[in-house]
Structures are given as C-alpha cells and as structure tokens.
Amino acid sequence: MNLSEISDLLAWGAATAYTVAMIAFAMDLSKMSDAIGQRKAEELARVPVGAGAPVRAAASAAFPADPEGGRRRSKSLGVAMSTLWLGFIIHAVAVVTRGVAAGHVPWANMYEFWLTGTFLAIGIFLLLQLKLDVRFLGVVITFVAVTFLVLALNVFHVVADEVQPALRNYWLVIHVGVAVSATAVFTVAFATSVLQLLRDSRDNGSTLLHGEGAVIRGRNVAAGKFFNWRFLDAIPTPTALEALSFRLNGLGFVLWTFTIIGGAIWADGAWGRPWGWDPKEVWSFIVWVVYAAYLHARTTRGWSGRRAAYFVVVGYACVLFNFTGVNILFSGLHSYSGVQNAPNAK
C-alpha cells in the first residue's frame, strides 16, 4: 500500500469520525431543546390561571448557546468534540500524506481542493468553539464536511501525481491556498446563515417547523408535516447568527480578494496578461461581486435578516459552482478537471 492509498483510507476514516460527531452533536442539541422545553413548562406552571398570557417560543441567548447561560457540557457534547478532534487529526494526516505522495501542496486538483477545504472548515469551527460556544453549528458543519469528503472520494478522486509544468510555481501555494481558505470560511458562514433562516422561520410561526399544539405569538400553529424542529430553540437568535455570519463573510471576502489579486499576478507572468475573461476568472469575479454586494447592502443599505441570509446562500452557491461546475462544464485556460487528474487551478 502506497502513501496515496493510505491517504485515501485516512480520508474515509475522517469521514466516519465526522459522521459519529454529527450524530452526537444532534443528540446534544436535542438535550438542550428538552431543557428549554422543561424550563418553558415550569414557567407556564407559574402563570396564574386565566391570565391569558401568550406563550412564545423560548428565546435563546446569543453566545454561548446554552439555556442555562453557561458552557454546559453533556456526555453527547463530550463525545461529539472528542470524535471531531480525532477526525480532524486523522484528516490532517490524510492531507499531509496526500501532499507527500503527490510531491506538491495538496490542493492542485478538485479532489485535493475539497480534501483540504473540508479540513480547514472543520478547523475553523474548532477554533470558533475555543472562543465561543458554537456547538449548534456542529451538526451542519460535520454534515457538509462528510458530504463533500464522500463526494470527493467517489466522484473527484484521482491518483496522486505530479502537476503540470506550468503549475510548478510558488503561486500554486499562495493563490490556490488562499482560495481554499476563503472557501472554508464561506462554508462556515453558509452553515450559520442556514441556521439563521431556520430559526427565523420558526420564530415567525412557520407551520413546517413546529409540532402539534405549538403556540406562537398568541395563536395556535397547525402541526408540522414532518417533525418538531424543537432543536432550533436551542440555538442563538437570528440576530446573533447573522452577526456571526457577517464577520465570517467579511473575512472570507478579504481572502477572496487576495485570491483574485494573486491569480491576476500569476496570470500576467504565465500568460502575459492579468485578466482574459476566462470562465474561471469570470466566475471568480462573480463570487467577488456577490459577496461585495452583500457586505455593501448590509452595512450601508440596511439589509439584514432573511434578505442578508439569502444573499449568503446565493454567494456560497456561486463558490461551489466556481470550483466544480466551471471546471467540468467550461473550456478555457483553467480547464483542469480534477476528474482527469488535472489541476483545478492555474
């Protein structure tokens, strides 16, 4: 068994560990929602009969997302974090062994891009968890990481090999490395905005996100068609989630700006021009415009709430298309489809 095969096995091991962590995070959220429901029931019991006070969905605080107001730890959270750290370490070894086996930095094709990108996304979540109690992001982040890892291993996987001569340049390290980092940041921001939309919908009486007997804003809500999304009561308010997403997207936008600048410098040296409206360049610029518009609209035009969150979702969809669809569907100077073991960057 060579290093490339070892790296693949380790990547599968990381995906398995993340799956276990995802289940444990879901169990922790369920316990938190049960605690909120119990506290809500106790508050109802203290309301005088006939007072007619409307019952609202429990409002969780900002960070930390804990109904008791502290960094409560449960067995489920302990399992989730321990398994996530284990998967992160295994993932790190998978990334390193892939780079050694290929003889270059492990982000020169589509498979390596997602292998490293998911690793950085998990790393950003772990870093945030050290500073804030963002356990509520664990389910979404691990789900995204597992999905992308399995997709990369089954669809985009290629044997570790040398890159084309044109890519043997230090700009491969800088330009694509920053692009991977920006994508990882955008991934965490996207997960935050998705939860923001769900929590906002629940707070505003969405019939799909409530169970039978729920009362919102003083009125009965019909039973949801699926199941009770009570775990949404255990995450921060939409305002807090939006603030976190905004900060993350601001960082991602800065990194993406450096990505485009670095690409232009590299293109000028390699092709004799900094910009040529190549499909990859065009879509990279589209991504930049979408996030620039989002930041501008939120800071100067007063866009907030659901409109801002939808902006983030659209921006992330453009990011994903830029690193998958553009490589597969379009021809150009950046047409290095990782499926054929060709690099996905300049």
Is 62 contained in some domain? Answer: no
Residue 68 placed within a domain: no
Classify residue 197: in a domain, yes or no.
yes
pLDDT in tens, 74-100: 789 999 999 999 999 999 999 999 999
Question: Bigger pLDDT: 189 or 223?
Answer: 189
pLDDT digits (tens, 9 = 90+) for 50-77: 554 444 444 444 554 444 444 456 789 9
Range of the domain at 28: 3-57+74-340
Across the chain, mean pLDDT equals 82
- Count: domains in the chain: 1
Q: Which residues pair with 338 in a beta bridge?
A: none
Q: 């095969």: which residue's tokens?
A: 5
Residue 314 lies in a domain: yes
Quick: pLDDT tens for 159-173: 888 777 667 788 889
What is residue 345's predicted lDDT score, i.e. its pLDDT? Answer: 39
269 lies in some domain: yes
Query: In whole angstroms, how large is the CA radius of gyration of the chain?
Result: 22
Residue pair 245/70 in contact (Cβ under 8 Å)? The answer is no
Q: Would you list the DSSP string of 104-168?
A: S-S-SSHHHHHHHHHHHHHHHHHHHHHHS--GGGHHHHHHHHHHHHHHIIIII-----PPPGGG-
| Chain length of the chain | 346
Residue 346 lies in a domain: no
Domain contains 66: no
Q: Would residue 131 count as lying in a domain?
A: yes
What are the beta bridge partners of residue 174? none
Q: Among candidates 309, 269, 266, 306, which has minimal Cα distance to 284? A: 266
Please check the confidence at residue 190 and state whether its pLDDT lies above 90: yes
